[in-house]
Amino acid sequence: MSTTILHQRGPIIQPFWVRLTHWLNALAVVLMLMSGWRIYDASPVFKGFMISTKITLGGWLGGALQWHFAAMWLLFFNGLFYLAMNIITGRIKTKFFPLTPLAVLRDLGEALKGHLSHADPSKYNAVQKFAYLFVMLDITVLILSGLAIWKSVQFHILRDLFGGYDFARIVHFGAMSLIAAFIVVHLVMVTLVPRSLLTMIRGR
């Protein structure tokens, strides 16, 4: 019984704002992916490669665009809040750094052999640090390339940065594919370490 009480009063590993922004981000990303796939199908970047409409959102191009351009606000402002809080609280420094390529490779090797420890959920291993920083960067690229496509005239610097309107679409698709791959790995890891799901829900 004493362990139970001790556990209940244990330190908060994921503060409330991290959990809130995580789930809001998850919702926004799923909506953006599913509606984005329907928009993609209207004029595939890669001829011949279509995405099954069964897993898309919006019903038709107009509906998908409405979802996409509504969920983008959630993705944008939630992401902005998340990054700002990470910087203000210093979490970005303590949680994600130091990080070296060697440590990532080492921990990746350990993970593939099934030896990687998640014993202390308050600390990310190097693969986790890399994966979460990568996904932050990837969402940033998604938002910026999306803005370049949406407003190729007004945001001309972004348009040029992504190599013009047509190439920005390829970048947007590439970044989407990477986040889809991240989600697959992320969900596999959650099933392997179910405690991490509880931590992301109640903080401990």
Taking every pair of Cα atoms in the chain, the longest distance, rounded to a whole number of angstroms, is 65
Q: Which stretch binds other proteins (CB under 8 A): 81-89, 92-100, 113-121, 138-146?
A: 113-121
Question: Shortest approach of other proteins to residue 21 CB, angstroms?
Answer: 15
Q: How far is CA 29 from CA 9, 93, 180, in A?
A: 33, 25, 9
Query: For other proteins, how many residues bind (rule: CB under 8 A)?
Result: 48
Decide if residue 9 touches other proteins (CB under 8 A).
Answer: no
CA atoms within 13 A on the CB side of 91: 17
3-state secondary structure (DSSP) of residue 153: coil
Q: 40 near 4, Cβ under 8 Å? A: no
| Residue 57 vs 86, nearer CB to other proteins | 57
Question: Shortest approach of other proteins to residue 54 CB, angstroms?
Answer: 8
Question: Shortest approach of other proteins to residue 93 CB, angstroms?
Answer: 27
Q: 86 near 79, Cβ under 8 Å? A: no
Alpha helices in 61-194 (DSSP H): 61-88, 91-96, 101-112, 126-150, 156-161, 165-192
Site for other proteins in 132-191 (CB under 8 A): 149-154, 156, 165-166, 169
Site for other proteins in 50-89 (CB under 8 A): 54, 57-63, 65-67, 69-70, 73
Which of 28, 29, 34, 141 contacts other proteins by CB under 8 A? 34
Binding site for other proteins (CB under 8 A): 3-4, 7-8, 27, 30, 34, 39-40, 42-43, 45, 54, 57-63, 65-67, 69-70, 73, 114-119, 149-154, 156, 165-166, 169, 193-195, 198, 201-202
